[in-house]
């Protein structure tokens, strides 16, 4: 029989990482971080199959996504820019969809007609699955390679969840990998309906929802 006294004392809890809102002047560095992180992501590979072209276009692509979140002061990062989370507050998705023509033109400028059409299809499928209830939406998160394993992305998501809980709103995200799903489940998310399946053998996205607490 093992007695409790034989276990080592628990380690002290790790301090919460320092987080802050990003500044628009940091958009270039954050776009580069997102582009590096998502270079081999199933979604970006489906949109832009050629890896060299993908490396060229992704910074511009994420520059547009950053602008979407910056419009709502909804880019959270670590002070050293080793980690970032893009999100939007309740109501933002409807407003961004109303500006769809503007953003479609910007995405086409970055990706070209064919690849912009692939991105538009993903956005259409995603929009069709967003919950009707007011919610915070976590869209993209990235952590620099050398900073992984420190819980930074989890801390960024938790910061948004605190805002959602304070507002009495749910939170929504899409997981593109088993690891992403496990991470969201660890934050209290549960699966919301069937997967979003892209055509022609494309990847799947798993809608995830968290009730306010």
Whole-number pLDDT of residue 7: 30
> Is the predicted pLDDT of residue 4 greater than 70, yes or no?
no
CB 78, CB 142: distance < 8 Å: no
The alpha carbon torsion through 98, 59, 180, 124 (nearest 10 deg) reads 30
pLDDT tens-digit series, residues 191-212: 999 999 999 888 999 999 999 9
Whole-number pLDDT of residue 188: 95
> Is the predicted pLDDT of residue 18 greater than 90, yes or no?
no
pLDDT tens-digit series, residues 67-98: 999 999 999 999 999 999 999 999 998 899 89
- Give me the mean pLDDT over the 25-45 stretch: 96
- Give me the mean pLDDT over the 148-173 stretch: 94
CB 183, CB 153: distance < 8 Å: yes
- Residue 81 backbone dihedrals phi, psi, to 5 degrees: 60, 30
Q: Over 17-55, what HEC string results? A: CCCEECCHHHHHHHHHHHHHHCCCCHHHHHHCCCHHHHH
Whole-number pLDDT of residue 13: 47
- Give me the mean pLDDT over the 126-142 stretch: 94
Average pLDDT of the residues of the chain: 90
15 pLDDT tier (thresholds 50, 70, 90): low
Cα separation, 213 vs 94, whole angstroms: 24
Whole-number pLDDT of residue 132: 92
Provide the residue count of the chain: 213
Pairing of strands 170-175, 135-143: parallel
9 pLDDT tier (thresholds 50, 70, 90): very low
> Is the predicted pLDDT of residue 162 greater than 50, yes or no?
yes
Q: What percent of the chain has pLDDT over 70?
A: 93
59 pLDDT tier (thresholds 50, 70, 90): very high
Whole-number pLDDT of residue 200: 85
Based on the number of CB atoms within 10 Å of its own CB, is 150 exposed (0-12), middle (13-18) or buried (19 or more)?
Answer: middle
pLDDT tens-digit series, residues 107-122: 999 999 999 999 999 9
50 pLDDT tier (thresholds 50, 70, 90): very high
Whole-number pLDDT of residue 11: 40
CB 48, CB 54: distance < 8 Å: yes
């Amino acid at each position: 029989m093992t007695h409790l006294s034989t276990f080592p004392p628990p380690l002290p809890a790790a301090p919460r990482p320092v987080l802050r809102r990003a500044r628009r002047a940091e958009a270039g560095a954050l776009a580069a971080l997102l582009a590096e992180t998502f270079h081999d992501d199933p979604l970006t590979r489906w949109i832009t199959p050629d890896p060299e072209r993908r490396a060229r276009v992704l910074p511009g692509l994420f520059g547009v996504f950053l602008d979407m979140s910056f419009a709502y002061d909804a880019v959270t990062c670590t002070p050293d820019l080793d980690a970032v989370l893009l999100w939007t507050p309740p109501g933002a998705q409807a407003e961004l969809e109303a500006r769809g023509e503007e953003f479609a033109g910007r995405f086409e400028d970055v990706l070209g007609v064919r690849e912009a059409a692939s991105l538009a299809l993903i956005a259409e499928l995603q929009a069709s699955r967003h919950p009707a209830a007011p919610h915070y939406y976590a869209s993209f998160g990235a952590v620099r390679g050398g900073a992984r394993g420190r819980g930074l992305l989890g801390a960024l998501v938790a910061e948004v969840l605190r805002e959602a809980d304070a507002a009495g709103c749910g939170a929504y995200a899409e997981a593109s990998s088993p690891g992403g799903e496990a991470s969201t489940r660890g934050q209290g998310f549960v699966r919301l309906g069937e997967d979003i399946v892209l055509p022609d053998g494309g990847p799947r996205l798993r809608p995830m929802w968290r009730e306010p607490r």
